[in-house]
Structure 1
Amino acid sequence: MSHAAVAAKRPSTLRGATLPNWSPWAIAAGSLAVAAGIGLAADLQSHIQWGLIAALLFLAGTYGIAARVEGRRQAKDRIATSLVWVAFVLAVIPLVSLIWVTVQRGVKVLDFYFLTHSMGVVADSEPGGGIYHAILGSLEQVALATAIGAPIGVLTAIYLVEYGRGSLAKAVTFFVDVMTGIPSIVAGLFILSLMLMFDMQPFGFAGSLALAILMMPVVVRSTEEMLKLVPNELREASLALGIPKWRTILKVVLPTSIGGITTGIMLSIARIAGETAPVLLLVFGNPFINANPFEGAQASLPLYIYQQYSQSAGSTAAYDRAWAASLTLIAFVMILNLVARGIARWKAPKTGR
């Protein structure tokens, strides 16, 4: 065997000592054990304090061990990676805890009967009843809000990206940014002031108008970013063939970005589906089924949750119904997010080999 082949088989001596792959898990386990000991010794009642101590010990332990074995430069890299993981865990724990508590308490009364019946004449303090009227109201209100807000938002984004120049475009962009940050109660008060001017009673469509106001800036921003991702070469090629600009937008730009636009619309729907303040002011709630959003008070899931929880002080039944409705609302939002991801994958540009 030649000297070159022997040298190739020898392990490289240029690479220094490295920690094994299982070292982060070992450091994390040791940090948890030490944090538990400190918590017990200091009589810390909150497990959140234990977790924060464990996170600090994990970061300090990672840096100390890595600096001793691998050197300070590699230790800095490991501490940056550890910070990312700690931030990820700190973000996931509240989410998992929220879902776990909601599922644990919401499944007590969540069944087919609960989903297909309204409260009707059932008092808040009595067992029974359901959320069919609230589900119907939420679906109608959100659908109407989407029918109003989504087209306006998409057309506004098309104007800003494809046509917007000068002071008008800057003014539209400024007001979109302002609308993005307005509280939902402000949108509800705006529609309520219009209702009081015309002496109108609460009805479902009024809530849809407030939700559409909250939805439009989100759609504008998401659609604007998707349109900016379309390569200018596609627009220029279409225009070079003599195709008008409006037809280029309709046949080239929108089909290319339709996946991202649809995803943004779905995420904005998920955002407005849980708004409570506008429907509390404008829709007013109704224990009976009202399938007409243009006449009379109407229920919705967020409002139902608020009303049931506010009556749960002396009633276990109302408390259980509030958690079951919360679980239904979370499931609805999760389904919308999954649908948005599916559409994004389905409409993603296909790259050939």
Structure 2
Amino acid sequence: MATLQASPSEVNESDLRGQKLPNWSPWAIAVGAIVISAVIFSLTGDSFNKARFAVLAALLFVVLLTGASFAVEGRRQAVDRLFSTFVYSTFVLAMAPLISIIYYTLAKGLGVIDGDFLTHSMFTISPDSFGGGAYHAIIGTLIVTGIAAVFAIPIGVLTAVYLVEYGDGKRFARIVSFFVDVMTGIPSIVAGLFIFTFWLLTLGFQKSGFAGALSLVILMLPVIVRSTEEILRLVPMELREASYALGVPKWKTIVRIVLPTAFSGIVTGVMLAIARAMGETAPLLLLVGTQAKINFDPFSSGDAANPMATLPTFIYSQLGAAAGNPNAPGTARAWGAAVTLIAIIMIFNLLARFVGRFTRARG
């Protein structure tokens, strides 16, 4: 009698993979690592520290999970679990500072924000007194960043178009690309010093919102150029060739085919640049200063010492007025301004994603 053999579809998957740890085992091992860490802290008499406790528990989890996998699943699966755990751990470590900053800022600043804070300035309000708000700083941030965006976005996008579409193999394109790389690493204070020397000392202008916007243009340009350049290179060459085959000129192909296809990515890069510009402090302290009242004119110096306020400089001035006192009114206003700045950047990013989603080219 012939021996019946199971077809490949009838072979149990577990027989091919060998023994596996139960799905609940990583959670059980994590609980065990926490318990063992707590026992070690109690036996050594070491004072409880959240950071050290977390590091010890994480190391024990990796060791115990790898050991259990090696004993049950074998060397190959154990090595796979080790590196998978390492990848997840590094992701958690990378996200922990961001989550901590957002949580701490919201915890400290949300209680400060109300209607008065968002609609009143610090005019006639003493730094040591409660009250006032960041309305003048919000207006200044939007004006300065808006002016910088008006200059930086077209220059950056057109530079990226030249590098991708026209500059292939050209010496001038290599020079432009080199200086873009150099500008990427320029500290913000250096950009501020350049505008200070050129705009204030050489040309004789006073501090103003426009001067601060010029320094932000220098910081935004490399981000826009590099992000746009990478997105344009992702546009399939077949789209360009199909357009050329129909007799469409190159400039019209770029305007009607390439840029709409890459629009969503371009918007994302622009928002990264705007987010960086909104958070800059050093060049704005040097070129814009601080102000207690509203100034809508970015070209007017107003009071030569304090022409226009922005959220980063407002935070700096309020913390300086608090003199390190965590319970001072200035400290509370600084946290409120920090939450406001985060909220503005988040709103702009959400708007950019909305625009990019509903304006991207569709096949």
The TM-score, its normalising length taken from structure 1, stands at: 0.94
Q: Does 1:267 align with 2:272?
A: yes
In the TM superposition, 1:184-195 aligns within 5 A as: 184-194=188-198, 195=200
Q: 2:99 maps to which residue?
A: 96
Contact 1:263 1:343 in 2 (8 A): no
Aligned-partner SS, 1:14? helix
Structure 1 residue 9: deviation in Å? 6.0
Identify which range, 34-43 or 117-126, moves more after superposition. Answer: 34-43
1:317-342 Cα offsets, whole Å, 9 max, x none, are 11100011011111122223333333
In the TM superposition, 1:152-301 aligns within 5 A as: 152-164=155-167, 165-194=169-198, 195-296=200-301, 297-301=307-311
State the distance in 2 between where 1:35 and 1:115 align.
46
What amino acid maps onto 2:94 in structure 1? A
Contact 2:191 2:283 in 1 (8 A): yes
Aligned-partner SS, 1:126? coil
After superposition, the Cα gap between the structure-2 partners of 1:346 and 1:22, relative to the gap in structure 1 and judged at 3 Å, is farther
Identical positions, percent: 52
Structure 1 residue 36: deviation in Å? 2.6
After superposition, the Cα gap between the structure-2 partners of 1:31 and 1:340, relative to the gap in structure 1 and judged at 3 Å, is farther
Aligned residue pair count: 350
Q: 1:307 maps to which residue?
A: 317
In the TM superposition, 1:28-43 aligns within 5 A as: 28-42=30-44, 43=46
What amino acid maps onto 1:182 in structure 2? I
Aligned-partner SS, 1:299? coil
What amino acid maps onto 2:17 in structure 1? R
Structure 1 residue 104: deviation in Å? 1.3
Aligned-partner SS, 1:128? coil
Q: 1:320 maps to which residue?
A: 332
Structure 1 residue 4: deviation in Å? 6.9
State the distance in 1 between where 2:11 and 2:80 align.
28
Structure 1 residue 5: deviation in Å? 8.0
Contact 1:267 1:340 in 2 (8 A): no
What amino acid maps onto 1:320 in structure 2? A
State the distance in 2 between where 1:18 and 1:255 align.
49
State the distance in 2 between where 1:179 and 1:267 align.
16
Contact 1:44 1:50 in 2 (8 A): no
State the distance in 2 between where 1:349 and 1:247 align.
16
Structure 1 residue 51: deviation in Å? 1.1
Structure 1 residue 240: deviation in Å? 1.6
Contact 2:140 2:310 in 1 (8 A): yes
Q: 1:50 maps to which residue?
A: 53
What amino acid maps onto 1:102 in structure 2? T
After superposition, the Cα gap between the structure-2 partners of 1:158 and 1:6, relative to the gap in structure 1 and judged at 3 Å, is closer
Aligned-partner SS, 2:17? coil
1:46-89 Cα offsets, whole Å, 9 max, x none, are 31111111121111111101000000100111111101111121
The TM-score, its normalising length taken from structure 2, stands at: 0.91
Q: 1:20 maps to which residue?
A: 22
| Structure 2 stretches lacking a partner, 5+ long | 302-306
Q: Does 1:330 align with 2:342?
A: yes
Q: Does 1:133 align with 2:136?
A: yes
What amino acid maps onto 1:337 in structure 2? N
Q: What is the root-mean-square deviation of aligned Cα atoms in Å? A: 2.0
